[in-house]
Amino acid sequence: MLIQQLINGVLASGIYALFAVGFTMIFGIMGVLNMAHADFGMVAAVAIIWCVGAGVAPLPAVVVAAVVMLLIALIVERTALRPGRRYSGDAAVEMPLIASIGAGMILQNGAAVIFGNKALVFPLRLRGFFHVGDYLVSQGLALSLVVSAVLLAGLEVLVSHTGFGRQVRAVAQNRNAAEIMGINTERIILLAFAISALLAGVAGCLVGVSYGLVAPYMSIPYAIKGLVAMIVGGVGSLPGAVIGALLIGLAEALTVNWLGSQLRDVGVFAVLMLVLAIRPAGIFRLAAVR
């Protein structure tokens, strides 16, 4: 039973990692928390439901959903986050934080108005299991883990080994210096934001693939877990976000095993408090994407 729960924890951590990496990437580069981040996942998932419901084939539906989600994400960036960059000090942090909470609420309530405040069946679900020895592995969650691992490995290569990644790291470490080095920092921020939104979009769809259902308010628990994973790993660190996600996935699974599923989040927050007590800046102490 314990090993089965540990397997479940590892599998679930893939989706958490995608959300956490997006959060940490935006915080590392822009210095703000985008509280609407996980809602991009919901938008992508319900957009696929809407497209498939309208008779669009699955693959084109994914493309349409990605475009719709990216457009919405860019509107959120332009209206909720970008204005804060005109300010310095607390206003530069607080203004986008509050504005993005508002943007998230608009997206959630907007989806609830359009699709109803209910769980929606995701058309591209994978609900079967396969055996690994004596243990059951969810096909959907296994796919999620593989997709997450591939995307995050690709992101690591992009950030650490390409010219674009060098510019991203430069902007994250010193935006003024990047600008005077000829880097169009607004363009880099926008591209990084789009990448993080795509990661959230994929994560939202993987929730649908793995669990079969999505809902207008589904993003709230994923936003919390993504944020906790980011903080546990060390804000601004991409590897830290992945390690954080793995830790909270395991903590959640162990809590379910020992205390029951009603208390699954207790383990998540216990890990958060423990890490904050021992290493207040997180496991990977960084404040900028590297």
Residues within window 6-35 making contact with another protein, judged by CB under 8 A:
none
Q: Counting beta carbons within 10 angstroms of the beta carbon of residue 193, is it exposed (0 to 12), middle (13 to 18) or buried (19 or more)? A: buried
From 41-49, 117-125, 142-150, 178-186, span contacting another protein (CB under 8 A) = 178-186
**Residue written as token pair 């990977």:** 284
Residues within window 153-172 making contact with another protein, judged by CB under 8 A:
163, 166-167, 169-170
Residue in 2, 71, 181, 276 binding another protein, rule: CB under 8 A: 181
Q: Cβ of 265: how many Cβ atoms within 10 Å?
A: 16
Joined tokens for residue 195? 């990448």
The distance of closest approach from Cβ of residue 8 to another protein in the complex, given in angstroms and rounded to an integer, is 36
CB-wise, 225 or 290, nearer to another protein?
290
CB-wise, 34 or 185, nearer to another protein?
185
CB-wise, 96 or 236, nearer to another protein?
236
- The pair phi, psi for residue 137, each rounded to 5°, is -125, 125
The distance of closest approach from Cβ of residue 177 to another protein in the complex, given in angstroms and rounded to an integer, is 4
Joined tokens for residue 258? 């020992």
Q: Which of 18, 69, 34, 222 is nearest to 214 (CA)?
A: 222
Give the separation between CA 159 and CA 117, rounded to whole angstroms: 39
The distance of closest approach from Cβ of residue 168 to another protein in the complex, given in angstroms and rounded to an integer, is 11
Q: Which residues bind another protein (CB under 8 A)?
A: 163, 166-167, 169-170, 173-174, 176-185, 288, 290
